[in-house]
Amino acid sequence: MKIVVTGANGQLGQDIVKLLEARHEVHGLTREQLDITNEDQCLEVIQRLKPEVVIHSAAYTAVDLAETNEADAFRVNSDGTRNLAIAAESIGAKFVYISTDYVFDGMATQSYSENDPTNPQSVYGKSKRAGELHVQAISSRYFIVRTSWVYGAYGKNFVKTMLELAKTRDSLKVVSDQFGSPTYTVDLALFLKKLIDTDRYGIYHASNSGVCSWYDFACAIFEESGITMNVEPCTTEEFPRPAPRPRNSAMEHEAIRVNGFEDLRAWREGLKAFLKELEEA
């Protein structure tokens, strides 16, 4: 199968390319090779390569920066997604759009299912939701995959930040009133690999199983790494950020179950595997 992956230099993109190129012809495209905000270029590149699947993992992900750079966030996450969806549809390719828990407001008392109403509160969340709407309107063969709290071997993430801070500090305050599911990029890439082999189109929630707070996640990182660290819980108000974070971004994996896929492993198991990968690297 011929597959195009956008954002091939990104945290998730690199793992997708690495996993899929063992069995498929993969064209991992970076920002330099494809400007997704250029509609003509999207059409030219996709029509020339003629992939059967386009996995769109390129995104404007600077959540706080997006609050003051709204035009840039929408140009990439909304317009760029529309351009790629048009290009993929023009050759009848399957289209996979990586979306986010930020499309929800985080006020629910239970986990969000795929059909729950969206209500993004941040510019980032609004721009990603706009991308989802373009995909639904344009593509006849789409998978929208919402994920959360992503970390992996490439790029910056919460796990690496915690391990870095542990080198210079012996105590930390971490937010304990925001809940979600950490997601290891390798586990997400493995799910995408299974997904693109099917025609079970629609919206999916895909994160490692189980729910924790950022505080719980930090404690687990240090425990699994054998690092002694005094971690103190704190509130969101004690750690203000420009962009509002969903208090609850736990997601129900209904579509995974209904469509007969195996769920992603427990978040703590994913964390152990990642720490092992870091150690070996």
CB atoms within 10 A of CB 44: 13
Query: In the structure encoding, which two tokens stand for residue 232, read together?
Result: 């103190």
Q: What are phi and psi of 261, to 5 degrees?
A: -85, 155
Q: Above 90 in pLDDT, residue 50?
A: yes
What pLDDT does 129 receive?
98
The CA–CA distances, whole Å, from 105 to 62, 143, 240 equal 18, 22, 17
Q: For residue 171, give the nearest of 213, 218, 241 by alpha carbon.
A: 218
Cα(236)–Cα(253) distance, rounded to whole angstroms? 26
Cα(211)–Cα(207) distance, rounded to whole angstroms? 10
What pLDDT does 94 receive?
98
Cα(56)–Cα(81) distance, rounded to whole angstroms? 8
124 in active site = yes
Q: For residue 121, give the nearest of 181, 66, 82 by alpha carbon.
A: 66
132-154 pLDDT per residue, tens = 999 999 999 999 999 999 999 99
Our CA angle for 25, 46, 60, nearest 5°, is 95
- The strand ranges marked E within 162-240 are 171-175, 179-180, 183-184, 202-205, 212-213, 230-234
Residues 199-224, mean pLDDT to the nearest whole number: 98
191-209 pLDDT per residue, tens = 999 999 999 999 999 999 9
CATH class of 2-157+181-210+249-265: alpha beta
Residues 46-61, mean pLDDT to the nearest whole number: 98
Identified catalytic residue from 97, 102, 124, 215? 124
With b for 16 or more beta-carbon neighbours within 10 A and e for fewer, the 104-122 pattern comes to: bbbebeebbebebebebbb
In the structure, what pLDDT confidence band is assigned to residue 281 with cuts at 50, 70 and 90?
A: confident
The CA–CA distances, whole Å, from 116 to 103, 106, 112 equal 10, 12, 6
Residues 15-37, mean pLDDT to the nearest whole number: 97
What does R_g of the chain's alpha carbons equal in angstroms?
18
β-pair partners for 112: 251
In the structure, what pLDDT confidence band is assigned to residue 4 with cuts at 50, 70 and 90?
A: very high
What pLDDT does 280 receive?
92
Residue-averaged pLDDT of the chain: 97
65-124 pLDDT per residue, tens = 999 999 999 999 999 999 999 999 999 999 999 999 999 999 999 999 999 999 999 999
In the structure, what pLDDT confidence band is assigned to residue 233 with cuts at 50, 70 and 90?
A: very high
The letter for the amino acid at 153 is A
In the structure, what pLDDT confidence band is assigned to residue 239 with cuts at 50, 70 and 90?
A: confident
Whole-prediction pTM: 0.97
With b for 16 or more beta-carbon neighbours within 10 A and e for fewer, the 157-186 pattern comes to: bbbbebeeebeeeeebebbbbbbbbbbbbb
Residues 258-270, mean pLDDT to the nearest whole number: 98
What pLDDT does 221 receive?
98
Contact of 52 with 2, CB cutoff 8 Å: yes
